[in-house]
Amino acid sequence: MNILQYLNVHNLSFAKFVVLPFPKKIMLRTHTCGELTIRDTGKNVTLCGWVQGTRDLGGMTFVDLRDRYGITQLLFNMDVNPALCERARTFGREFVVSATGKVTVRSNKNPKMVTGDIEIEVEELEILNASKTPPFTVEEQSDGGDDLRMKFRFIDLRRTPVQKNIILRHCLAQEVRNYFNKNNFLEIETPFLIKSTPEGARDFIVPSRMNPGQFYALPQSPQIFKQLLMVSGYDRYYQIVRCFRDEDLRADRQPEFTQIDCEMSFVTREDTLFMFEGMMKHLFRTIKNIELPDFPRINYDEAMAYYGTDKPDLRFGMKIEDITELVKGKGFKILDEAEFIGGICATGCSEYSRKQLDELTEYVKRPQIGAGGLIYVKFTPGDTVKSSVDKFYSADDLKRWGKIDNAKEGDLLLILAGKKVKTLKALSELRLEMGRRLNLMDREKFSPLWVINFPLFEWDEETQRWYAVHHPFTAPNPEDAHFIEGDPGRVRANAYDMVINGIELGGGSIRIHSRNMQERIFRRLGFSETEAQEKFGFLMKAFEFGAPPHGGIAFGFDRICALFGGSDSIRDFIAFPKNNAARDMMTDAPAQVTHDQLKELSLEITHPC
């Protein structure tokens, strides 16, 4: 049966992958540098790879030959073949060579390597390509700085730790596909040259030569296309897809990044949470051999109140507690006038020195955090308290503040006061800092959760208008929909974020699928009728032609890789990443283009070429 017949009988399940036996002679080599062991003794083999290093011991020369599978030792014996030995001595680091010879047992075994029991007594040797001396060492710990390694990324990618990251990424991508394929999802590509979609960031713009003065945008996400696929009946879609956002960069941001983008039809929030939680559990099970428990759910309001953030790190407690009412009214002006006073309890830290407390004060006063100062209360032995504000508060007053996390002898309260939103945010940072200092953020511990019931809209003081917290296609909670016009701040979104260890790994929602509701939201967001029509006419039209209820999510794939790889930086898991200035250091992009290219694109020339 051919593939068409196969599809025609409606058997759409996926053909099993056929694993081909490894061919005996793979191109120029018979084996890789990571597989020969004592069981292969006596075999004649040909290996190809890069010279990691040579050691010349007078009568013998040893060469470590490396490929992505490992390192195998080559042996050249002066007594047996002096010419060959002389040649081996000329090898520089990173020469590409092919060596043929016999597998023999080593006298000096290295138990740390799979191939550590054997070596190859080389009989034939070919230099496939010489190499200049690499600008840094190609080893676990390289001596090259970040910039240099980025510039020579093709060499950096040869290093084992970098390779491990790239291979981890590959394995994760395969398991994502396995999971979705098993669940009847279809992988469908969507276009890169599109009309701008609002996801809250700036678009990358591409001029159209054939349509002078007109531009495509690179997708910030395939949001609209995946929704249209639902209208078209492809009721389970996923794609591991590049997205583009022209934003200022941080360690976990890149101008182009990869999403696992998913959408499902005929679902409620429960169905999507179940399916996508299932994907994450599958990844942990298959890649890390960890069974995650069912993910707890936290309302957005609770997350903000107890952790000061919508992506709380639940590997440790240290919840924020509001003590505004307890503290006020004792004549200490700064606190009496504060809109909000809250604190955290650092268990067992009552012995903190002046220096440690000063460091924490400096930490919260940094401009990024912006607290005015830090108040502490130490619950010291013998039921006594010591505090930076004991001039204004009696010991009994201060003990009452100990309701924060039920503080007990030996604990330390850290308290901030000021405007509510800002103070909660500062407390959130302080909580994380204490988590780091107290080693509560174990990289091998994973605490997943869903944050639900986000607000649908947020008010922006500067522009004096409402914005969509997620994106304008998110459905409101049905019971709040009547507030859209009169009291938009009260409308909760039917949206959810997946957070693990304080990292937002994914976000999605149940979508609007009625034209009428979509129009109401656009109106609330300040789009005029014409604007909405011009920007999203095609989507609203689609909603008139049988749009099913649907919902989905997008995961940050680079972030998932970094989490699984135990790193804070997504860059380590991208083969060719950009630097902080959004530059590709290796190809030196972006770069100027020629006058003629610009002319062809009907673009004004603003720089000399």
Binding site for ligand ASP (CB under 6 A): 199, 221, 223, 507-509, 552-554
Least CB distance to ligand ASP at residue 198 (A)? 10
Least CB distance to ligand ASP at residue 454 (A)? 12
Least CB distance to ligand ASP at residue 208 (A)? 24
Query: How many Å apart are CA 571 and CA 569, to the nearest integer?
Result: 5
Nearer to ligand ASP, 123 or 504 (CB): 504
Least CB distance to ligand ASP at residue 470 (A)? 6
Cβ–Cβ < 8 Å for 393, 341: no
| C-beta atoms surrounding 6 within 10 Å | 13
Query: How many Å apart are CA 227 and CA 327, to the nearest integer?
Result: 51
Nearer to ligand ASP, 502 or 552 (CB): 552
Least CB distance to ligand ASP at residue 356 (A)? 40
Nearer to ligand ASP, 262 or 491 (CB): 262
At 396, list the tokens: 């009994």
Nearer to ligand ASP, 504 or 584 (CB): 504
Nearer to ligand ASP, 431 or 550 (CB): 550
* Residue 457 three-state SS: strand
Nearer to ligand ASP, 364 or 553 (CB): 553
Least CB distance to ligand ASP at residue 221 (A)? 3
Torsional sign, CA 343, 344, 348, 353: negative
Least CB distance to ligand ASP at residue 554 (A)? 4
Nearer to ligand ASP, 476 or 552 (CB): 552
Closest CA to 284 of 162, 161, 452, 447: 447
Least CB distance to ligand ASP at residue 591 (A)? 29
Where are the strands (E) in 68-135, listed by range? 70-77, 96-105, 118-129
First-to-last alpha carbon distance for the chain, in angstroms, is 59
Closest CA to 388 of 313, 335, 311, 434: 335
Residue at 569: amino acid letter = S
- SS3 of 149-190: HHHCHHHHCCCHHHHHHHHHHHHHHHHHHHHHHHCCCEECCC
Hey, what's the torsion of the CAs at 266, 270, 275, 279, to 10 degrees?
150
Closest CA to 225 of 512, 475, 539: 539
* Residue 475 three-state SS: coil
Please give the distance of CA 269 from its chain centroid, rounded to a whole number: 24
Count of residues making up the chain: 609
Nearer to ligand ASP, 199 or 405 (CB): 199
Query: How many Å apart are CA 257 and CA 245, to the nearest integer?
Result: 8
Nearer to ligand ASP, 96 or 188 (CB): 188
Residue at 220: amino acid letter = Q
Least CB distance to ligand ASP at residue 374 (A)? 35
Nearer to ligand ASP, 199 or 558 (CB): 199
Least CB distance to ligand ASP at residue 163 (A)? 29
Residue at 235: amino acid letter = D
At 217, list the tokens: 């945008």
Nearer to ligand ASP, 402 or 552 (CB): 552
Least CB distance to ligand ASP at residue 506 (A)? 8
48: Cβ contacts below 8 Å, ≥ 6 apart: 28, 29, 67, 96, 97, 98, 99, 128
